[in-house]
Amino acid sequence: MRRTGMVLLLLGMLIAWGGSPEAVAKGIMIDGSTTVGPISKSFAALFMKKYKVPVTVSESGSGNGAKSLINGSCDIADMSRSMKPQELAAAKAKGINPVAHVAALDGIAMVVHPSNPVRSLTKTQIADIYTGRVTNWRQVGGPNFPVVVIQRESNSGTQETFRELVLDKRKVVRSAETQASNGAVKNRVSQTRGAIGFLGLGYVDSSVKPIAVNKVMPSVATVKNNTYPLSRPLFMYTNGTPKGMVAKFIDLPKTPDGKRIIRELGFVPKY
């Protein structure tokens, strides 16, 4: 009886804080971007400790995050790009109203193997590498060895944003290797002498070497002041204006704890 009473008391507290009985029972479901994923996972740990509401985070890519929101299988879609017009149209057809919330700011860092002496490339040079016009590092001031181009899968928001910011939506050379996540790209570049890839800023560590783009290094400062050419917002999408516990979760980037977590993960607070 005592245990039952405690459960009812907790449920009552959660409902009083803004969650319906159904929402409290199933918790918050999040799906989408592998770039935004670490932020959501850290927020989830904080949220579950503070509110005792279960939060499930899946990292299936921005495209799948959008599909999950449209299909009603998640409460929050993590996306490292804006929703496409066709996704918004599909949502409207199903009665879903996607609302974007900026979770943090990010820079797409261009990374090479630590032994590569190249320190900077222009956006034009990067585009030439990814479209196959440059195939040897010697063509861009580096050593004489072949370039190994690493990209993300087509469902990746980071891939979409890279194409938009660097390639003007031109196609990536067919010989490019495709990796399924930021972590996989980092691992491949760290083990491949001639490789070049791109990562969310929070994934950069000493195993790879970030290079400047148009002479600007990717950093918290250059992303925040928008001087880094490959800066971008990271999003959490909800169906309409969030309410109850989902609203509390969406507001975390504005709180001191949320800002601290974003900084600790290597991303840049928006608020």
Give the pLDDT confidence of 103-128 residue by residue, as tens digits.
Answer: 999 999 999 999 999 999 999 999 99
142 and 213 inside one domain: yes
Q: Do the domain assignments include residue 142?
A: yes
Give the pLDDT confidence of 57-92 residue by residue, as tens digits.
Answer: 999 999 999 999 999 999 999 999 999 999 999 999
Contacts of 59 (CB under 8 A, 6+ apart): 31, 32, 33, 34, 37, 78, 181
Tell me what pLDDT residue 25 has: 59
| Spatial distance between the Cα atoms of 41 and 19, rounded to a whole number of angstroms | 20
Tell me what pLDDT residue 169 has: 74
174 and 125 inside one domain: yes
> Is the overall model pTM greater than 0.85, yes or no?
no
Q: Check pLDDT > 50 for residue 55.
A: yes
Tell me what pLDDT residue 223 has: 95
Q: Do the domain assignments include residue 53?
A: yes
101 and 48 inside one domain: yes
Q: Check pLDDT > 90 for residue 23.
A: no
Give the pLDDT confidence of 216-257 residue by residue, as tens digits.
Answer: 999 999 999 999 999 999 999 999 999 999 999 999 999 999
Count of domains forming the chain = 2
Which comes out higher in pLDDT, residue 163 or 23?
163
Contacts of 158 (CB under 8 A, 6+ apart): 33, 35, 62, 80, 81, 108, 152, 182, 198, 199, 200
Q: Do the domain assignments include residue 7?
A: no
List the domain range (segments joined by +) for residue 65: 28-105+233-265
Q: Check pLDDT > 70 for residue 21.
A: no
Three-state helix/strand/coil letters over 135-161: CEHHHHCCCCCECEEEEECCCCHHHHH
125 and 59 inside one domain: no
